[in-house]
Amino acid sequence: MYAVKLENRVAVITGAASGMGRAMAKLFAAEGAKVVLADIVADSLQQVVAEIQSAGGTARGVVSNVAAQADVERMIDTAVAEYGRIDILCNNAGVMDGMTAAADVTDDLWERVFAVNVTGPMRAIRKVLPMMMEQGQGAIVNTASVGGLHGSRAGAAYTASKHALVGLTKNVGYQYARLGIRCNAIAPGGVETNIMGSHPQMDMTALGVQSALAGMAINPRTGQPEEIAKVALFLASDDASFVNGAVIVADAGWTAY
């Protein structure tokens, strides 16, 4: 009988109430991890916690807005208080920008997208690193995007934020490698989640949606959240012990064209 991949590990996963975060939480729990789920949507969050517990897993939900430093602190503190340590951090929460072109980006939109997509992950990483350094091991998995590797898969704010997250991933991955800590990112392509609803007002102009979605015709297919969760499991587990500072593209070959 094969051992589970995350036995006795403690994992914190943001954006865990739906989509890829939900799939990660359920898969990690099935693989033996004690999971702390964070999300801003309380009802959906508790539903996922209940699903994990009913399947025999160990889970705790913390209602958190990753754009708020106090919430990030409380999320991490809850995990440590509940389970004594943190082995895995998955910065999965993210928001879109309505495909808004640069000339139309407001300060509010820019700051909101960066607060969730970059500053939140930075604060969570900053909080867990001393704990992981003391333990001598830890795995950080950031959900980036093919938009963080290319120029027009979304609007200006989202594209810039995901490029920044990729840079943060590489920086942390290298600088903390000798301390037993790995930091990697996943760059999903089109995945069937509700993230588009995170900014319902779409820029329908030629410089907005029309430019951002110009390449959709060559996309072989969209993915399922569970497919991304499997990549996250690999990166969080010892199977990826030699993988660090990497960005794993999971897009059915879309960006290979």
Which residues are part of the catalytic machinery? Answer: 158
Instruction: For residue 186, give the DSSP letter.
Output: E
Residue 165 tokens, joined:
């997250």
The count of other CB atoms within 10 Å of the CB of residue 47 is 15
Q: Is 193 helix (H, G, I), strand (E, B) or coil?
A: coil
CA distances to 10, 133, 138, 216 from 87, in Å: 5, 11, 5, 37
Q: Nearest to residue 138, comparing CAs of 38, 240, 66, 49?
A: 240
Query: Residue 163 in contact with residue 193, Cβ under 8 Å?
Result: no
